[in-house]
């Protein structure tokens, strides 16, 4: 069990130090899917039961899950960006929490 907690803490540490990367990935992820879903969103609410041709029947679920996952990634990035901003205001520019 101790090995699993060490792996988990390593994973959590890695995610925290790369939050800026998650913000960029999440932002592009949200924008790309938003543009892809525009035809279906334009035909709401009819498109929920009868989606446009290029969309699968489960597109609303895909849209919601994409929004949630992209939002989480962007949120992780903003959290890291604000933490980094606070660190530079304290007089230690460029210093990371893990250092």
Domain that holds residue 83: 27-94
* Alpha carbon distance 37, 62 (integer Å): 10
Residue 81 near residue 24 (C-beta atoms within 8 A)? no
Domain assignment present for 15? no
Q: Is the pLDDT of residue 18 over 60?
A: yes
pLDDT tens-digit map of 58-81: 888 888 887 787 777 777 767 766
Q: Tell me, yes or no, whether 20 lies in a domain.
A: no
8 found inside a domain: no
Look at the chain and report how many structural domains it folds into: 1
The pTM assigned to this predicted structure is: 0.48
Give the C-alpha separation, 66 to 60, whole Å. 10
Torsion angle of C-alpha atoms 64, 65, 70, 76, degrees rounded to 10: 120
Name residues whose C-beta falls within 8 Å of residue 70's C-beta, 6 or more positions apart in sequence: 26, 27, 29, 30, 33
Does 55 reside within a domain?
yes
Residue 19: inside a domain: no
């Amino acid at each position: 069990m101790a090995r699993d907690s060490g792996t988990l803490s390593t994973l959590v540490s890695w995610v925290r130090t790369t939050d800026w990367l998650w913000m960029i990935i999440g932002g592009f992820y949200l924008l790309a899917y938003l543009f892809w879903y525009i035809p279906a969103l334009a035909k709401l609410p009819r498109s929920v039961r009868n989606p446009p041709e290029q969309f699968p029947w489960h597109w609303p679920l895909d849209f919601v899950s994409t929004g949630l996952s992209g939002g989480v990634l962007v949120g992780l990035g903003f959290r890291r960006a604000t933490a980094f901003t606070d660190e530079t205001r304290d007089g230690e520019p460029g210093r990371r929490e893990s250092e």
